[in-house]
Amino acid sequence: MNVLQKLDCFIRSFKGEKGIVGTALSGAPIWYFCVRKTAYPTIIAQYSIHAREYITTLLALEQIKDFCRFGKKGTVYFLPMLNPDGVQICLTQNPLYKANGRGVDLNVNFNANWGTGEKNQTEAGSENYIGLAPFSEPETRALKDFTLFINPDLTLSCHSKGEEIYYQFFQTGKRLKRDLAFAQIVREQTGYDIKATPNSAGGYKDWCVKWLKIPSITIEVGSDDLTHPIGERYLTQIYQKNQGVIRALTESEKWN
């Protein structure tokens, strides 16, 4: 089974809270799964915003099962595949495709210094196209509206590849120190390096930091030695490094 089929099987088998946050350009649903242990803290974790990074969807399914079994604190909303149209294109037409069905790179389509990124493109393509305006795409609007509705305490975005952690977007002072502390929690769990992203713009992390003023962490899973799209045979080693991330974030003493 491919990743879309595995996600469909998971949707049908999951007995907890689940629903649709919106639809992709094609009308394909964007699903969420909610696992509640306590009301606080609340986290949104989103995956496969870039099509060729669909190994993160499979990671999400494992993390959902882990948090169901072993989680002790917090509420987590998992969005395993934000970009189903792009994943379909990646599976059937272009394995290196990152964008959505309209050729917009969803992770440069948020209203956070939109259009100022180092690699931004102004024409549709397989990656880096910013779109006609911030939130021009149904997928980014769906994630924005869901995030505003849930009002999370922290967001987590899983990408591939490079084994790096990002958390910065021009925040300063106490907020910078607070957000670094959460990035360090992820580093302790994964062994990944924390890296600065001075040329980031238009991403979900960037928007959360700028407008919601909450910690927002991006994790690049999988060794940089691997090639896109990362094969499922590497899922076990990726999961082993990321298994405890969600629980470590929800159970952190930083919330006390």
Per-residue pLDDT of the chain in tens (256 residues, 90 and over written 9): 999 999 999 999 999 999 999 999 999 999 999 999 999 999 999 999 999 999 999 999 999 999 999 999 999 999 999 999 999 999 999 999 999 999 999 999 999 999 999 899 999 999 999 999 999 999 999 999 999 999 999 999 999 999 999 999 999 999 999 999 999 999 999 999 999 988 899 999 999 999 999 999 999 999 999 999 999 999 999 999 999 999 999 999 999 8
98 and 194 Cβ atoms separated by less than 8 Å: no
Q: Record the pTM.
A: 0.97
Q: Please give the pLDDT value at position 199.
A: 84
Q: What is the mean pLDDT of the chain?
A: 97
Domain spanning 3-255: CATH 3.40.190.10: no
Pairing state of beta strands 75-79 and 29-36?
Answer: antiparallel
CA distances from 105 to 85, 139, 169, 170, 200 (A): 12, 11, 19, 22, 13
